Amino acid sequence: MVDKDLLSIQETRALVRAARAAQPTLANAGQERVDALVEAIAKVGKEMAEELGKMANEETGFGKWEDKKLKNIQATEKLVEYYRGMKTIGILNEDKERKMVEIAAPMGVIAGLLPSTNPTSTTFYKAIISLKSGNAIVFSPHPSALKCITATVNVIKGVLKALELPEELVGCISVPTMQGTDELMKITDMILATGGNAMVKAAYSSGTPALGVGSGNVPAFIERSADVDVAIKKILASKTFDNGTVCASEQAIVTEACIADKVKASLIAQGGYFLEGEKLAKVKKVMERPNGSMNPAIVGRCAADIAKIAGIEIPAGTTMLVAEEEGVGPKFPFSKEKLTALLGFYTVNDWQEACELCYKLLHNGGLGHSMGIHSNNETVIREFALKKPVSRFLVNTPTTQGAVGISTSMAPSFTLGCGTVGGSATSENVGPHQLFNIRRMAYGLDEEATCTGASCGDGVDVQAVTNMIMEQLKKMSGTL
């Protein structure tokens, strides 16, 4: 009997070998053919968006299939539309005046680490940006989403076959193990890591270049000049999107005391329910594991499901469970990331205090990721934007849809860089331009602009200057 971990390692090696052999075919196919490939994947991906969304929801139990369908469309049609016309193959730019030519050089074989929260959309997204930039990709799927991820990979393979390109350009480990994933990270050329902090740290520690993302603990500040009802509508639209499984979703509302009652009333009117007393205590019990990490049993669940798990009654029509939190840190669970229908609530005296509190919340597991603000005061908006350690500062928009480029002009992406402050190699929404190197071909300039022999520039004798400096140094050393 073959051990599962050994089988996984062997399969991984075989997939990477096959991908490496196939990759030059794509790299040499030319921009037009590569673009035709990603356009075809986008078209089929959109057609399969609902079916794969339902499959992901059924297999993982996370989120809503309707929202997973939208994410699949964002990761195919919208992604390809955004990067349409971008040069990624061959000569990128030629500057005749400076005698410089820039040439795209694919990285080779990409390791795509996939989460269970956004499995099919992230598969499409990573495959498209990898292929667009002339690379092959091998996926390490989350075990709890293996079926839907494999189905998505098979859809992409079908497109490759139809266009007479090697199917081995996209591979997927069928026996996913930690050992197999570790091997994949060691023998590929670049890692695209989307998942928990442990996975991302492992990617950066593998010895292979990696693009990973940090966790999101997104605060949303509602400032006194905001339209409160509109702000709450947007926050709930964001937080309930796929039941909060996107790491850019809001985790806490921060608002000023002068409008706090209005914010609470609007929240309740639009489906929020404030937990208190025994009900709050019961929900807190099921929020986390003993080590303080998120309880996977409540991830991507609706408010009614969480209430059932906690054993409490909530009003019909409740879409969000809210708790007024007293502090920030390990002892305050509503101050942490909650990828589900749970939201913290804080009241402060003014925007300056809100600024400090949001900073603390970001330091509590969300550094470098995202933050939202709802305000019509441009001075306050700019003050926040200049000082907050985030890569995406989202103004008057749902942070989920804003961060991934649905409600803003940001690049469609399901790998959201957090910058060095968040332990990430980039602060961008990762795209195809980050998956190829640039080879620069530089021609020599005119002879009169270059140094020749012992002299250069305006006839300065370089050797004479050197000798003079050496004499000065000798004199100085004699006086020390």
475: pLDDT strictly greater than 80: no
What local confidence, expressed as pLDDT, does residue 293 receive?
87
Distance CA 285, CA 268 (A): 23
pLDDT band at 449 (very low <50, low <70, confident <90, very high): low
Give domain 218-409's CATH superfamily: Aldehyde Dehydrogenase; Chain A, domain 2 (3.40.309.10)
pLDDT per position as a tens digit, 95-154: 999 999 999 999 999 999 999 999 999 999 999 999 999 999 999 999 999 999 999 999
What angle (nearest 5°) sits at the alpha carbon of residue 89, between those of residues 83 and 90?
A: 140
Strand partners, 393: 371
| Assigned token pair, 242 | 């796929």
Read off the pLDDT of residues 247-282 as tens digits, 9 standing for 90 and up.
Answer: 999 999 999 999 999 999 999 999 999 999 999 999
What does the domain layout of the chain look like in residue ranges? 4-213+431-438, 218-409, 452-479
- Give catalytic residues, as residue numbers: 247
> CA 138 to CA 410: how far, in whole Å?
27
List, for residues 451-464, the tens digit of each pLDDT value.
Answer: 555 455 555 676 77
Q: How many residues in total does the chain contain?
A: 480
Interval 391-404: pLDDT, tens: 999 999 999 999 99
CA distances (Å), origin 438, targets 87, 119, 257, 312? 12, 31, 52, 58
- Provide the pLDDT confidence category of residue 473 given band limits of 50, 70 and 90: confident
pTM above 0.85, yes or no: yes
Beta bridge partners of 255: 222, 347
Give ∠ CA 217-222-225 in degrees, rounded to 5: 155
CATH fold of 4-213+431-438 reads Aldehyde Dehydrogenase; Chain A, domain 1 (3.40.605)
Are the CB atoms for 279 and 273 separated by under 8 Å? no
Q: Which two tokens stand for residue 65?
A: 């299939």
